[in-house]
Amino acid sequence: MLGDPIAHSLSPVLHRAGYAELGLDWSYDAHRVPAGRLAAFLDGLDEEWRGLSLTMPLKREALVLADRLTERARLAGAVNTLVLDGAERVGDNTDLPGAAAAIRERTTMPLVSAVVLGGGATATSVGLALVDLGVTSVRLAVRDASRATETVGLLRSHPAAPEVSVEPLADGQWSDGPDPGARDSSVDIVVSTIPASAQTPDLVDRWRDVPVVFEALYDPWPTPLAASVLDGSGDRVVVGGLDLLVHQAALQLELFTGLTAPLAAMREAGERALAQQNPA
């Protein structure tokens, strides 16, 4: 696992649990690699290495260092997985299918319209996954519209050509923003890629009528948005950041090993690790 910062990552826990369950004597470690240093790290690897997981700020840096890109990595404009196939480096992105699998594990309801809170790399990958699942309209709710330009372009480049729009994250933030205090029940799923500290009571209440909530964070848990589902009544569904992390890691493991990932063992390991980090 490469990135900066990296110490907080649960990926080593998940992958090690998967390899142990499969009876593989493999190692998986976290290495702090700052921006601009990925090429040097790759040059120092030998034939024992089978693959790498990448997090920020290396996902876009890896695009130009891969010998070949999968279509989903090209579509996302980011690589979170490098498969070392002999002398070839194959850049892939398991965030897209991982997000889709996480959603479908929790709900089978048809999804047509979505709101994504935030406009960064995670918003891009989950947004593209939603389009893969049939979403035709994506609204990005952001503080600064100019910072969502790349995400808007990538979402619109999907072969399904979804309708993509940008709106303010907070009520009254822009002159053409939503009515203050108004709830929004016009979408099927709301995805949060923003910090828990940014999930104000007004923001949480605005999305209280949306049937599916996808919270990309797994620590802290639950975030205010996730808690509004878990503490409520009715048939609302929450998809958590651990769901996303486990599914994308399982897909990485399968790319590295060629074996079916033990999803349950990986999830259990992640749940134990989070419980130890955040004792009740």
Residue pLDDT, tens place only, 191-207: 999 999 999 999 999 99
Average per-residue pLDDT for the chain: 93
8 A C-beta contact, residue 110 and residue 139:
no
Residue pLDDT, tens place only, 76-119: 999 999 999 888 999 999 999 999 999 999 999 999 999 999 99
Residue pLDDT, tens place only, 12-24: 999 999 999 999 9
Output the pLDDT for position 234.
73
What lies within 8 Å, CB to CB, of 89 at 6+ separation is 42, 65, 66, 67, 68, 82, 83
Output the pLDDT for position 177.
52
pLDDT confidence bin for 268, thresholds 50/70/90: very high
pLDDT confidence bin for 175, thresholds 50/70/90: very low
Q: Residue 97: which H helix or E strand, with range?
A: helix 95-106
Sketch out the chain's domains with CATH numbers: 2-93+243-277 (3.40.50.10860), 97-239 (3.40.50.720)
Residue pLDDT, tens place only, 138-161: 999 999 999 899 999 999 999 999
- Classified as helix, coil or strand, 153 is helix
Q: In whole angstroms, give the CA distance from residue 195 to residue 217.
A: 8
8 A C-beta contact, residue 211 and residue 236:
yes
Closest CA relative to residue 52, chosen from 11, 21, 22, 113 = 11
8 A C-beta contact, residue 166 and residue 152:
yes
Residue pLDDT, tens place only, 30-67: 999 999 999 999 999 999 999 999 999 999 999 999 99
pTM equals 0.93
Output the pLDDT for position 143.
92
What lies within 8 Å, CB to CB, of 126 at 6+ separation is 95, 99, 116, 191, 193, 214, 216, 244
pLDDT confidence bin for 179, thresholds 50/70/90: low
Residue with tokens 């900066």, as numbered in its chain: 4
Output the pLDDT for position 170.
82
- Report, as residue numbers or ranges, the catalytic residues: 59
Residue 173 has pLDDT above 90, yes or no: no
Output the pLDDT for position 83.
97
Asked if omega into 224 is within 30° of 0 (cis), the reply is: no
Residue 224 has pLDDT above 90, yes or no: yes
What lies within 8 Å, CB to CB, of 58 at 6+ separation is 2, 3, 4, 33, 35, 38
Percent residues over pLDDT 90 in the chain? 86
